[in-house]
Amino acid sequence: MPLPRCDAKEPLVSTFIEYFEERGHRRILGSTEHRFRRLLERGRHVLARPRFHGPLTEEDLHHLHDIHGLPRDLVTTLRQQ
């Protein structure tokens, strides 16, 4: 499966991908990408629960991170989508 190409706005990510591709570590990147996609799916599923529909408290954010592994930045991004 080919890896997605990053646009020029993300030079660090692009450099990271090129580095690993040059060294034949495509499997590592694929595995990392797969785990991140699963985290996104889990995050969307958890945030669809009624408990998380309104404004989130610090306690909610700690719960999402500690129990579900969802960092604050990812929660914020998923809620904006």
Tokens 């997605």 belong to: 4
Concatenate the DSSP letters of all residues of 20-69 into one string: HHHTT-HHHHHHHHHHHHHHHHHHHHHHTSGGGSSPPPHHHHHHHHHHH-
Tokens 């990812």 belong to: 74
How do residues 32-51 score in pLDDT, each as one tens digit?
777 888 888 999 999 999 99
Report the distance separating Cα 31 and Cα 15, nearest Å.
Answer: 18
pTM as predicted: 0.61
User: 9: pLDDT confidence band, cut at 50, 70 and 90?
Assistant: very low
Residue from 43, 38, 44 nearest 70 by CA:
43
How do residues 64-79 score in pLDDT, each as one tens digit?
999 999 999 999 999 9
